[in-house]
Structure 1
């Protein structure tokens, strides 16, 4: 069964007023349109456009609850949440727990009697929340994961040089960070433990941290001022991020933490995979985001919301890692499949039309007259351009730019035709099932 669905974009303050309307051909409202949610998450379940087809259920969550056998089959629930995300301003620094940590934290907070909707609540369900983001805008800016400690030392050296008041990285305000870095070299402490110490010191706050944030911002603003020579250091983007974050969250310790993280610019079509424990923040751009259907977020700054420092330190993975790019697992004519090693979801990009098939190595999605894709269960498809027909075992539908549809698992393999682009979210491979 193909069931047409829709939703109203979330109006978070960091959202763009125009990016989602321009992508989907929908009206601008003058208000931010930050995230369009497609799924059954209780925070904003998708509306069913023809309730007569779903026994009168008016949203996807209600239909799944009333008739799970038809809607999601043996899965029993919808394991993923698909979003179109449009950031005009930086989001908070955040990380998500492992499945084990989420189960333990949810039970612990329930036992403590903390209301599910309480601002200080960390765990609103017993699920983990890995996620992927695929860039749609020409560039998509983000912070993700801790960078190597050697790079952090180079950034501290650069900051002292830019300040111009010292010739060595022992300047008083940077002292706590410098000493932590130098001590780690002396005793051979693992990079992850050093980064844990630095982040803990920053998040605890206090006069020293406040002074360091203020001076760091003044130093970078001075170094990046147009009146001065153009800075061509490899860390220029990281320094520009300091200024950007201070405009939105003046004085926040997360401004310094941003220098400890990988600074990433995705091109359109590139993707990141953010597993449990990976600290990240989206800075600016338009993308397709797919995640587990969870609302467990541990924040680490750049937000007026609750920050539980002790819990965050337990959740974070402090080991420096390369930028977690997610390459398509499968690329055939007209199909790119982004499939991380989790059972919750995978994301297919489908490009169909009569255009000449482009070589995959060009980095441009190829186009094919028809494309076949077999979801591992219930699926959600959204058209971001043109018009595409989708045919399954017993039904078919045509969706145009801006339209979306829920597909029940009995449709099996789907065949796409027409002239357009569709993203399809579905559960991941059974081989990735977690205990």
Structure 2
């Protein structure tokens, strides 16, 4: 069965001015366009275009709650992934996500403590992990992702200390205290905890680094950008501990549990486990639970976590992260795919016909459908850009 689905972009403050509607050829909302959710997450489930196709269900979550065992396949009762179109017009918060075990424990703990699901200080909205991948669809997509080596971080601090020393009012003690944490990779946790806890002299250090960045041309442009949005936030300094990457169109990242990251600018297709568990670590006015964040972060220094696709055919490639919950196929022309469970298909360019074992759908730019598991083998014809999200 092919069931048309749609949704309205979520208007988070960091969203872009019309980039999602421009990509999909839809009417601009007039509000910030941050994320278009395609899936069954109860926080913003996809709307079913023709409820008669789904026994009268108005949204995908309602339909799956009633008939999930029949339409999802592979023994599933919940759709395990969530597909998003994401457009960052301003930096998102620094954040990380829990492992499955951490999510289950945290969700149960907060439930037992009586913390309402809608409370601003709630960390765990559900009992699931939230690994995710992002594929750039704009010409460039900028992000922070994972810790750099301490040697690289130390080099940045030393350069700032040089700028400070050359200024008319140097404050060497500030940088000496920061550099005291910058010895080995094993000190990443101690430096991070010192910065995010924001005790003396961290606020003064943030102010000083922000001022120095104004004189440093492009060398510390990231500091200027972040401070322009989140003045005084210790995340401005934490960002210097992280890998700063600019993806080109078609490149992707995979962000596993514990990876600290932030999307800074650009338009992408994001696919993740169907969870809304976010532990924030700065660059946000929202709740930051420092002890809980420290308990889930991976403080290993690591390279940029690129996710390279592999070819399925001359017209199709697949991004396969090391999780069972999801994979993302990108289609440019005629091809065939096999799916073992339900899928979601989104067209971002051109026109396609998708045929399954018993049904079919015609998709133009901006169109999306839910495909039930019984369709199994998909024959795709057309040209443009089509994304297919499914389990592995």
TM-score between both structures, scaled by the size of structure 1? 0.87
SS of 2:12's equivalent in the other structure is coil
Distance 2:19 2:196 in 1: 33
- Tell me which residue corresponds to 1:261: 242
The alignment covers a number of residue pairs equal to 389
Q: SS of the counterpart of 2:92?
A: coil
The secondary structure found in structure 2 opposite 1:180 is coil
What corresponds to 2:133 in structure 1? 132
Q: Deviations over 1:261-286 (max 9, x none)?
A: 00000000000000000000000000
CA RMSD across the alignment: 1.4
Is residue 63–residue 71 contact of structure 1 (8 Å, CA) maintained in 2? no
Match runs of 1:177-192 below 5 Å? 177-182=178-183, 184=184, 191=185
- 1:29 to partner: Cα distance: 2.8
1:406 aligns with one of 361, 366, 370: 370
d(CA) in 1 for partners of 2:366 and 2:56? 24
- 1:221 matched to which residue of 2? 214
After superposition, residues 284-323 of structure 1 pair within 5 angstroms as 284-323=265-304
> 1:380 and 2:344 equivalent?
yes
| Separation (CA, whole Å) in 2 of partners of 1:91 and 1:174 | 27
The aligned residue for residue 394 of structure 1 is 358
5 Å-filtered alignment, 1:216-365, equals 216-224=209-217, 236=219, 239-352=220-333
Q: Secondary structure in 1 aligned to 2:362?
A: strand
Q: 1:116, 1:279 → 2: CA distance? A: 23
Answering whether residue 103 of structure 2 is matched by residue 102 of structure 1, we say yes
Match of 1:38 in 2: 38
Answer yes or no: is the 8 Å Cα contact 2:71–2:374 preserved in 1. Answer: no
| 1:120 alignment counterpart | 121
In 1, the alpha carbon distance for the partners of 2:69 and 2:115 equals 33
Give 1:170 shift.
9.4
Q: Distance in 1 between matches of 2:235 and 2:298?
A: 17
- Which segment is superposed worse, 320-329 or 169-178? 169-178
Q: Does the 8 Å CA contact 2:353/2:363 hold for their aligned counterparts?
A: yes
Q: Please give the alpha-carbon distance, in whole angstroms, between the structure 2 residues aligned to 1:422 and 1:218.
A: 45
Q: Give me the whole-angstrom Cα distance separating, in 2, the residues matched to 1:322 and 1:158.
A: 22
Q: Tell me whether 314-323 or 66-75 shows the greater mean CA deviation.
A: 66-75
After TM superposition, what 4+ stretches of structure 1 lie above 6 angstroms from structure 2? Answer: none
Q: Which segments of 5 or more consecutive residues in structure 2 lack a partner in the other structure?
A: none
Aligned to 1:362: none
More off after superposition, 172-181 vs 320-329: 172-181
Q: 1:218 offset after TM fit, Å? A: 0.5
Aligned-pair CA distance for 1:122: 0.8
Which residue of structure 2 lines up, in the alignment, with residue 202 of structure 1? 195
Q: Secondary structure at the match of 1:177?
A: helix
The two structures have a TM-score, normalised by structure 2, of: 0.97
Q: CA–CA distance in 1 between the matches of 2:346 and 2:6?
A: 10
Q: Which residue of 1 aligns with 2:7?
A: 7
Alpha-carbon deviations, 1:291-322, whole Å to 9, x = none? 00001100000111110000101100011011
Please give the secondary structure, in 1, of the residue aligned with 2:129. coil
Residue 165 of structure 2 corresponds to: 164
List runs of 5+ in structure 1 lacking aligned partners: 185-190, 225-230, 353-369, 429-435
* 2-structure distance, mates of 1:146, 1:137: 25
